[in-house]
Structure 1
């Protein structure tokens, strides 16, 4: 059973954001999209029943980590989507509360498995 919780998708690239949202919608999830810090702030204040967040750090400056801290303070689990494998990105992500890091291009099964797990759904 799909959760009532929404998935917040954060990505600077509008086209990637739309594709991710369409994919999640086809899987039965409701999504909210944010492509800027301002949209992010609106999405989480109040948190609007957000179950998890998918945060693509590409194109954002270091303030993206402040957004991650806000997710953590609202107790919203989140995944970091990264353009490359990097020990620094992995360390920053985990330090700021990420549950996991996925390297792009995304493996659909892995993404769905993590989404199910973080929302407390059966696989």
Structure 2
């Protein structure tokens, strides 16, 4: 992994993605954001150095899980964000490779701690 980790963020709400991107950039991460699955696919095709994918699943259909499978197949760690995370959604996300799930609205400190924890996990398992 490079010295600077690359974070992909996918979500329908551009303002939320910009806030996420600013938060990650302040933590010295490179960030790519996408508001559509097609754009996300193009980014994945272009970059093979993704460290973490942050998926805000609100507003996406059940098809989001196939992208989780693709990320998992590429050994890309995932953080799933959702307004509500019922047990069935939690099970689906974890079974498709999500390492962490947080409910929106996300507390900034919780998000930062979760990302730091994921980065530490990744570094320890390289």
Gaps of 5+ in 1: none
Partner of 1:118: 118
Aligned length: 121
Name the one with the larger helix percent.
2
Query: Of the two structures, which has the highest relative contact order with CA contacts closer than 8 Å and spacing of 6 or more?
Result: 1
Matched, 1:10 2:10: yes
Q: Report what 2:83 is aligned to.
A: 83
- Which has the higher mean CA deviation after the structures are superposed, 112-121 or 63-72? 112-121
TM-score under structure 1 length normalisation: 0.89
**Once the 2 structures are TM-superposed, how far is the Cα of residue 3 of structure 1 from its aligned partner?**
4.3
Contact conserved, 1:3 with 1:119, CA < 8 A, in 2? no
Alignment of 1:48-87 (within 5 A): 48-87=48-87
CA distance in 1, matches of 2:42, 2:116: 25
In structure 2, the gaps of 5 or more residues are: none
How far the C-alpha of 1:46 sits from its partner, in A, is 4.3
Distance 1:34 1:73 in 2: 20
Q: In 1, distance between residues paired with 2:18 and 2:86?
A: 26
Structure 1 runs of 4+ with >3 Å offset: none
